[in-house]
A and B are shown apart, each in its own frame.
Chain A
Amino acid sequence: MNTRATESLGFRQALESLAPRIRLTLETAREVVKRPSALAGGILLLVILMASVSFPVLYHTDPLAQDLLARFTPPVWQSGGVWSHPLGTDNLGRDVLSRLLYGSRVSLLVGFTAVFVAELVGIVLGLISGYYGGKTDSFIMRIADIFMAYPFMLLTISVIAVLGPSILNLILVLGISDWVTYARTIRGSVLSLKRKEFIEASRAIGTHNIIIIIRHILPNVISPLLVLGTLRVANIIIWESGLSYLGMGAPPPMPTWGRMLAEGRVYIGDAWWLVTLPGLAIMFTILSINLLGDGLRDALDPRLINL
């Protein structure tokens, strides 16, 4: 009984300490929704996410099933199109719509998780670098310089070429190559924050450094990273499709937008839909993320409105 009372008290305290943060989140959401372009981006992204998640349930044509008799069936609105393949079929008679839907899962999965990996690495190194300073700081920043000086695309291509293409490798390589921006941003905010009185006060009463970093510094420096992260998802998805196009993305026969474009490129004269539709899918996904990201940035940081 007693323990349960303290537990619920603990929960209540936790909830109360979270309240300002929840309020801030709600306010941000309201700011984002107020901007029509950001709202449109958000809705578009939501639609894409839902289509991607609900894929095998609502539309259950196998993306790998071949039907050589139905090769190069055009989309349904063109003469020769059929309703069983609304967006047509490819050179092996595979259904384009289900391949697009499957491809959206690969792109979104890689995009979001790679950014998560990059943020994780960047935040940890940035916090350490900014908080401890000195030799640790200059060591981490020198490594960051080297990463910055290395053309990103080449780094990922060469590492994937050696490790072999797989979704996990793709996430790790894209994530680890992209940590520098986050680390630098965090480091900058930490540097200015750590001279504030409340940090000095908690250091004076003997709070452990790790606790200061996690409880007092991290919550105050994380919001710019949210914006940065959203916009980076767009870039990562473009890179993922590029690597896929080159044959270095997810391993075959997994359908990805990049691979669909590479395969369609061969039949560019015969089947326009094979090279057009996957590109449109990438473009609308990126556009929705960019619109939402711009809105988030404006909402969180009004100083940047015109940029």
Chain B
Amino acid sequence: MLQYILKRLWHTVYVVIGISMISFFFIHLSGDPVLLMLPGDASDQEIEELREQLGFNDPLYVQYVRFASKAIRGDFGESLYYHVPVMELVIERLPASLELAVAAMVFALVLAVPIGIISAVRRGSMLDMGSMLGALLGLSMPHFWLGIMLMLLFSVHLGWLPTSGRGTMAHLIMPAVSLGLSLMAMFARLTRSVMLEVLSLDYIRTARAKGLREEIVISKHALKNALIPLVTVAGMQFGFLIGGTVIIETVFAWPGLGRLVIQAIFSRDYPLVQAIVFVLSLLFVGMNLLVDILYVYLDPQISYSEEK
């Protein structure tokens, strides 16, 4: 177990190094990053000054080492637009994004698991077919469009919920639902198929043969094993949520990192973009690490020695 975790940690280290490289190099893709950061009518002198100020005259590897050594200390430089340390902005906005992602995940899981179980138990019924059709529709809807549709119904026509901003529960409902719906659809399909598989296994037949009540067979025997793949997928989908927040936050003017990164891109504030991209990826990697460890803990059958 310890060996596995160490191996997994080592894996995380090189992934983080890779991510830091991507986060650093992407602004060099266009050739000259300084031209990206300045408006088109900047004078040669301004260009030269900014280039000197941000150290773009040094060789690339020197710049990368400087970026990485500062990044380890949480220093990503100063925002070109807000003129405050980039990390301050990131820390200020991070809770809003996490709140949204967690709310979406909770919404998806709380509804998907019962729907999946009922569909599996009553396989082939109208309920099953209806919810699976619903799940298919949910998977086919872009979440930002769902957000706009909810807004059209609940804000414009009914006037029940606010269209944008953050603060109360009412503000959270629409962004969380639109971000979480396709996840819910995916989890419901997954729960159903895993439950179907588990319910056909011998130990379930034994449990039924013992005369246990069906509810106990399902909740105590079947569900426990069905949860393992669900936990893994839910963890892996956290990355999807992070990507999704970028658009949903823009739709609902939610003051999180996703909206900030888009604003930063349009105001050519590349140090801020770099920091947000790096921090969100770290969050994603950390989540994956956690899931992998949890996975082994949940299912002792998975031999971590097989991991090569």
B-binding residues in A (CB < 8 A):
142-143, 145-146, 149-155, 157-159, 161-164, 234, 238, 241-242, 245-248, 261, 264-265, 268-269, 272, 275-276, 278-279, 282-284, 286-287, 290-291, 306-307
Please measure, in the bound complex, the distance between the C-alpha atom of A142 and the C-alpha atom of B19, giving whole angstroms.
12
Q: A159-B29, A306-B193, A306-B197 are in contact. List 14 more A-B contacts (CB 8 A).
A: A142-B18, A143-B18, A150-B281, A151-B242, A151-B280, A157-B262, A162-B27, A245-B247, A246-B262, A275-B148, A282-B145, A286-B139, A287-B140, A290-B136
Chain A residues in 8 Å Cβ range of B251: 245, 265
Chain A residues in 8 Å Cβ range of B145: 241, 261, 275, 278-279, 282-283
Q: Sort A-B residue pairs by CB-CB distance and give the 8 closest, nearest first.
A: A153-B243, A146-B18, A279-B145, A286-B140, A287-B140, A161-B265, A149-B15, A307-B193
Show 20 A/B contacts (Cβ-Cβ < 8 Å), sorted by A. Answer: A145-B14, A149-B15, A150-B284, A153-B243, A153-B244, A154-B242, A154-B243, A158-B277, A159-B26, A164-B30, A245-B144, A245-B247, A245-B250, A246-B247, A284-B140, A286-B139, A290-B136, A290-B139, A290-B140, A307-B189
Q: Is B196 an interface residue (CB 8 A)?
A: yes
Chain A residues in 8 Å Cβ range of B273: 158, 161
| Chain A residue at minimal CB-CB distance from B12 | A149
The answer to whether A272 touches B196, judged by C-beta atoms less than 8 angstroms apart, is: no
Chain A residues in 8 Å Cβ range of B18: 142-143, 145-146, 149
| Chain A residue at minimal CB-CB distance from B265 | A161
The answer to whether A145 touches B142, judged by C-beta atoms less than 8 angstroms apart, is: no
Given A146-B18, A238-B142, A287-B136 in contact, is the A154-B281 Cβ separation under 8 Å? yes
Q: Is B239 an interface residue (CB 8 A)?
A: yes
For the complex formed, measure the closest distance between the CB of A200 and the CB atoms of chain B, giving whole angstroms: 23
Q: From B26, B149, B262, give the contact of A275 (CB < 8 A).
A: B149
| Chain B residue at minimal CB-CB distance from A146 | B18
For the complex formed, measure the closest distance between the CB of B209 and the CB atoms of chain A, giving whole angstroms: 24
Chain B residues in 8 Å Cβ range of A142: 14, 18
Q: From B36, B156, B262, B265, give the contact of A269 (CB < 8 A).
A: B156
* Interface SS of chain A: helix
Chain A residues in 8 Å Cβ range of B294: none
Q: From B197, B250, B284, give the contact of A149 (CB < 8 A).
A: B284
Q: Is B100 an interface residue (CB 8 A)?
A: no
Q: Is B131 an interface residue (CB 8 A)?
A: no
| Chain A residue at minimal CB-CB distance from B244 | A153
Chain A residues in 8 Å Cβ range of B144: 242, 245, 261
Q: From B19, B151, B288, give the contact of A268 (CB < 8 A).
A: B151
For the complex formed, measure the closest distance between the CB of A129 and the CB atoms of chain B, giving whole angstroms: 14
The answer to whether A151 touches B243, judged by C-beta atoms less than 8 angstroms apart, is: yes
Please measure, in the bound complex, the distance between the C-alpha atom of A143 and the C-alpha atom of B19, giving whole angstroms.
10
Chain B residues in 8 Å Cβ range of A247: 266
Chain B residues in 8 Å Cβ range of A246: 246-247, 250, 262
> B11, B14, B140, B193 — which one has the most chain A CB atoms within 10 A of its CB?
B140
Please measure, in the bound complex, the distance between the C-alpha atom of A231 and the C-alpha atom of B250, giving whole angstroms.
27
| Chain B residue at minimal CB-CB distance from A305 | B193
The answer to whether B148 touches A146, judged by C-beta atoms less than 8 angstroms apart, is: no
Chain A residues in 8 Å Cβ range of B54: none
Chain A residues in 8 Å Cβ range of B193: 306-307
The answer to whether B148 touches A261, judged by C-beta atoms less than 8 angstroms apart, is: yes
Q: Is B216 an interface residue (CB 8 A)?
A: no
For the complex formed, measure the closest distance between the CB of B155 and the CB atoms of chain A, giving whole angstroms: 8
For the complex formed, measure the closest distance between the CB of B95 and the CB atoms of chain A, giving whole angstroms: 18
The answer to whether B243 touches A158, judged by C-beta atoms less than 8 angstroms apart, is: no
Chain B residues in 8 Å Cβ range of A279: 141-142, 145, 148-149
| Chain A residue at minimal CB-CB distance from B236 | A148
Chain B residues in 8 Å Cβ range of A291: 136
The answer to whether B239 touches A283, judged by C-beta atoms less than 8 angstroms apart, is: no
Please measure, in the bound complex, the distance between the C-alpha atom of A164 and the C-alpha atom of B36, giving whole angstroms.
10
Q: Is B104 an interface residue (CB 8 A)?
A: no
Q: Is B152 an interface residue (CB 8 A)?
A: yes
Q: Is B137 an interface residue (CB 8 A)?
A: yes
For the complex formed, measure the closest distance between the CB of B111 and the CB atoms of chain A, giving whole angstroms: 20
> A154, A162, A261, A272 — which one has the most chain B CB atoms within 10 A of its CB?
A154
Q: Is B188 an interface residue (CB 8 A)?
A: no
For the complex formed, measure the closest distance between the CB of B236 and the CB atoms of chain A, giving whole angstroms: 9
